[in-house]
Amino acid sequence: MKRRRAPWTPFGARITAVRTRSKRRRLHAAHARPWLAHGLSATDLPIAGLVHRLTHPGLSDLCWAGPEFEWRRVGLVQLIQKSVSDYERGGTQKDEYSTDEVVTVRCPLCGSTGAVRLYREHRSLEIKKCSGCSLIYTSPRVKEPEQTYHGQYERYLTEAKLIFSGRATHHRDPNYREELELLERHRPSRGRLLDVGCNMGMLMRIARERGWRPVGVEPSPALHRIATEQLGLEVHNCLLPELPDSEDRAYDVVALSDVFEHISEPRPFLRAVARFLKPDGILYLKVPNARWNILKQQMLQALGRTPSEGVWDSYEHVVHYDHDSLMRMLAAEGYKARELTVSRPVQVPVWHQYVGQYYQYPSPWVLDWKRHLGRLGFYHLSRLERAVRRGAIGYCAPNLVCVATARR
């Protein structure tokens, strides 16, 4: 191992760049505590610290408030001794699935068994395109994909503890506000909102602040307990069709935000949704854009990179919609789209790369600036692409957002 002295940084931590056997630069910082730095390049740390101070003045409080870890300062960046590749989170996602954990299924839209394989990921999961109707779906897929979220209460709580005590925000808060603004254009009077698959209730928490009367449905017992105990929300711990009859025709909006792609039988599910909508109620849908996944996959292949986790999230996403197939799915169950649009990308936090724990708080963008800029760049490109395609959503959009009404 060859060491080279580096100058003092602007924030007083002495940094020594270390060239490892793998020729990758790591940082050993601040008075020979080699465990302090993980995963930052020699240039990232000073830049991260500086920009971070300008953009995230509250981060120090947030970090020091996490009692489950021993936080230390390196200049202005907080780092900890923990493996960056092995991190904890609430769900039960796996890197690989064996053949006895998966099941082969028909096309969820037209019922055809004819399909072309596009990709394979997580060893046994395949992304297929239906030969009959062109819908893209996962088959073989995980037998019970909704079980992914039946994780442990304490682990989920750790991910978001500071949000419940009001000391941190959620990384999706800007996205939730954008979603609700769209809904409020269609329903200025607000009203009752049913958030299906509400997870910990983060969207409902913002909706409540804005004057909606939200009710959630969440099959995971741990997530249901967090939403009710920590946020005081009204949540039914069941699947949507199991809601009591008293909820029939009771909702101004039924929201499926990043949920519909998890539903393995989407047609019966859309029929169930119609049961709970008021006669003039609206269905709100937000799903990942399948064409964006195709573009991502092709870009990575062109760069010679095979993503170890795959780009389709196929252990939980069982149907992959694009503009055309989403419209066909809705029309097949008697829904009429009022608006189809694209919303801003979710900027996924990267705490786990530094502290070995997935946290739901926004991480400083400088720690993941390439992906942040890339997501924003493609989002703006998607608006241009949409104008060129005269309103059709193409390959650059990260998601599809639809407001629809049920034909009676």
Instruction: Rank residues 114 and 221 by Cβ distance to Zn ion and give the closer one.
Output: 114
Residues 122-141: x/- map of binding to Zn ion (CB under 5 A)? Answer: --------x-xx-x------
Helix, strand, coil percentages, rounded to 5, for the chain: 35, 25, 40
Q: What is the DSSP string of 144-178?
A: -GGGGG---HHHHHHHHHHHHTTSS--TTHHHHHH
Instruction: Rank residues 106 and 208 by Cβ distance to Zn ion and give the closer one.
Output: 106
Chosen residue from 17, 50, 84, 110 binding Zn ion by CB under 5 A? 110
Instruction: Rank residues 37 and 107 by Cβ distance to Zn ion and give the closer one.
Output: 107
Q: How far is CA 300 from CA 116, 306, 308, 310, in A?
A: 21, 7, 11, 10
| DSSP SS3 for 253 | strand
Residues 348-387: x/- map of binding to Zn ion (CB under 5 A)? Answer: ----------------------------------------
Min dist CB 110 to Zn ion, Å, is 3
By CB under 5 A, which span of 90-98, 110-118, 217-225, 353-361 interacts with Zn ion? 110-118
Work out whether 250 is an interface residue with Zn ion (CB under 5 A).
no
Please tell me the distance from the alpha carbon of residue 45 to that of residue 10, in angstroms, as a whole number: 10
Min dist CB 112 to Zn ion, Å, is 5
Please tell me the distance from the alpha carbon of residue 360 to that of residue 375, in angstroms, as a whole number: 18
Helix (H) or strand (E) holding 72, with range, is strand 72-74
Q: What are phi and psi of 148, to 5 degrees?
A: -50, -35
Min dist CB 107 to Zn ion, Å, is 3
Min dist CB 139 to Zn ion, Å, is 11
Residues 135-174: x/- map of binding to Zn ion (CB under 5 A)? Answer: x---------------------------------------
Residue 127: which of 259, 322, 397 has the closest Cα?
322
Instruction: Rank residues 34 and 132 by Cβ distance to Zn ion and give the closer one.
Output: 132
What is the identity of the amino acid at 376? L
Work out whether 107 is an interface residue with Zn ion (CB under 5 A).
yes
Around 154, how many Cα atoms within 13 Å sit in the side-chain half-sphere?
Answer: 1
Instruction: Rank residues 107 and 255 by Cβ distance to Zn ion and give the closer one.
Output: 107
Residues 67-106: x/- map of binding to Zn ion (CB under 5 A)? Answer: ----------------------------------------
Work out whether 112 is an interface residue with Zn ion (CB under 5 A).
yes
Length of the chain: 408
Work out whether 109 is an interface residue with Zn ion (CB under 5 A).
yes
First-to-last CA distance in the chain?
72
Burial label for 249, CB within 10 Å (0-12, 13-18, 19+), is exposed
Instruction: Rank residues 135 and 259 by Cβ distance to Zn ion and give the closer one.
Output: 135
Q: Which residues bind Zn ion (CB under 5 A)?
A: 107, 109-110, 112, 130, 132-133, 135
